[in-house]
Amino acid sequence: MFISFPFAQGLARRARFAMLLAVLPCKVMAVGLSFDNALALALREAPVLTANEAQTDAARQAAIPAGELPDPQLALGIDNLPIQGADRFNLSRDFMTMQRVGVSQTFTNPYKLDARTAAAEGRVALAKAQTRLTRLQVLQETAMAWISREAVERQLARIAGLEDENRLFEGVVKARFAGGAGMASELLAPRQEAALIAERRDELDSRHAQAVAQLKRWIGEAASQALIGSAPDWPINREALSHGLHRHPELDLFDPKNRVLDAELDEAKADKIPDWALSLAYQRRGSAYSDLVSLQVSVDLPVFSGSRQQPKLEAKLLERNALAAERQAALQEHTAMLETGLAEHQRLSNAVKRAHEVLIPLAEEKVSLTLAAWRGNQGDLPTLLAARRERIDAELKAIALEGERRSVAARLHYAYGEQTLEDAEPQP
């Protein structure tokens, strides 16, 4: 049997993913929370996915009786019961009073049953497509939350390094003053700088708590685990993402929706074909009379189709036209979102490159020059502190820009990346 290489890759990728799910709890507790572990946990723990799976199961169960005939009806009754005179309400069988038992069955026309079955199958497909879309959204949101938390923790690590550096700097200032250089007011500068650094740490601590809370939304208490590793640096290729645009799960919702509408349209057409019913009854009479059997056939008469069946048919035609317009609007919206995301990713890529190649080196050089001038009594301490702030600002901004760039890449990858769309396929 021949299996294409891309398809084989997909099978292998899903097999690895299944193995990861199986060993995940032990792995998370042992080594921390990696990017891949977070995604796998989200697909296992997100309540919204549990809800989607329940809706899919409900649609499957609802499809079982869709093509069945209505239940038969049992009829019990009394015929020819006197209500006047001396024998009123007398159930004696010496009169013509009859005890009747009967059963009836309605036979829906087969075209209507076929249409109902097709509509039910379409709703099952729609539920599966909705689950696929939800899985993709969970992957996307979890990835972005993990990346956001990692960026904040990198900034916190840089702040910790700056605090250590400032303590060393305070010792240098004190030693310099003890040696007869500098002014007494310079002794306060490191303490003031420490307070400003503490303010930045407080802000980053708040952002870190928010990032953990956002991640906890998708993976629960495992979000409190220490992060390990890093997120993938996905290549952003316009042509590949544009190709994946038409396979986006949100657009895939319209195919099963259209199937349901087509089936409902067929059912509306089938309403013009009459259903019929068969009734059989046994009537027991008194000993002076013979028992009876009744057989009855009834047929619907859709003689007022212009005001009953036809409006329903027209309504389904209009709904189908509306659905086609909605699909076109959704396609245009996602095209705009893709173009906007690509432009934003390019901007952030340029900004990150500029920060690492130009802004940070220049800020470091400025710190070196002002520090040398201050040590040689050719510069003042405020200028040196301002240069240090510019350097830390440049470093923190570069980390933030890199986090934003990876978040945009994650959003694009998990929205339009072809391999991701395969991974988001719900398992049977």
For 363-417, write each residue's pLDDT tens digit.
Answer: 999 988 988 887 777 777 788 888 888 999 999 999 999 999 999 999 999 888 8
Quickly tell me which residue has 């979102």 as its tokens: 337
- Based on the fold, state whether residues 78 and 216 are members of the same structural domain: yes
- Based on the fold, state whether residues 268 and 391 are members of the same structural domain: yes
Rounded to two decimals, the pTM is 0.78
Q: In what order do the strands lie in the sheet with 276-284?
A: 73-79, 98-107, 276-284, 292-299
Task: Select from 235, 56, 19 the least CA-distant residue to 130.
Answer: 56
Whether residue 211 lies inside any domain: the answer is: yes
Domain count, the chain: 2
- Whether the predicted pLDDT of 30 surpasses 80: no
pLDDT digits (tens, 9 = 90+) for 186-243: 676 777 788 888 898 999 999 999 999 999 999 999 999 999 999 998 889 888 888 8
Decide: residue 79, CB within 10 A, 0-12 exposed, 13-18 middle, 19+ buried.
middle
- Based on the fold, state whether residues 310 and 172 are members of the same structural domain: yes
**DSSP-assigned letter for residue 386:** H
- Based on the fold, state whether residues 11 and 127 are members of the same structural domain: no
Q: Can you tell me whether residue 176 is helix, strand or coil?
A: helix
- Based on the fold, state whether residues 286 and 415 are members of the same structural domain: yes
- Range of 28-32, 165-169, 248-252 with top mean pLDDT: 248-252
- Based on the fold, state whether residues 38 and 18 are members of the same structural domain: no
Task: Supply the CATH number for residue 364's domain.
Answer: 1.20.1600.10
Whether residue 257 lies inside any domain: the answer is: yes
- Based on the fold, state whether residues 295 and 336 are members of the same structural domain: yes
Q: With contact defined as beta carbons under 8 Å apart, do 152 and 203 qualify?
A: no
Q: Which long-range contacts (CB under 8 A, 24 or more apart) does 193-198 make?
A: 193/166, 193/169, 193/385, 193/388, 194/163, 194/166, 194/167, 194/170, 196/389, 197/159, 197/162, 197/163, 197/166
Number of C-alpha atoms within 13 angstroms, CB side, residue 376?
7
- Based on the fold, state whether residues 58 and 86 are members of the same structural domain: yes
Whether residue 146 lies inside any domain: the answer is: yes
**β strands within 300-428, DSSP E:** none
Whether residue 329 lies inside any domain: the answer is: yes
Spell out the alpha helix ranges (H) of 34-109: 35-45, 47-63
Whether residue 92 lies inside any domain: the answer is: yes
pLDDT digits (tens, 9 = 90+) for 68-110: 999 999 999 988 888 877 777 776 655 678 889 999 999 999 9
Whether residue 356 lies inside any domain: the answer is: yes
d(CA 107, CA 7): 47
- Based on the fold, state whether residues 123 and 5 are members of the same structural domain: no
- Based on the fold, state whether residues 72 and 5 are members of the same structural domain: no
User: What's the domain range around 14?
Assistant: 1-31
Task: Select from 350, 351, 379, 353 the least CA-distant residue to 366.
Answer: 379
- Whether the predicted pLDDT of 1 surpasses 60: no
- Based on the fold, state whether residues 163 and 142 are members of the same structural domain: yes
d(CA 137, CA 133): 6
d(CA 194, CA 163): 7
Whether residue 428 lies inside any domain: the answer is: no
- Based on the fold, state whether residues 257 and 351 are members of the same structural domain: yes
Whether residue 413 lies inside any domain: the answer is: yes
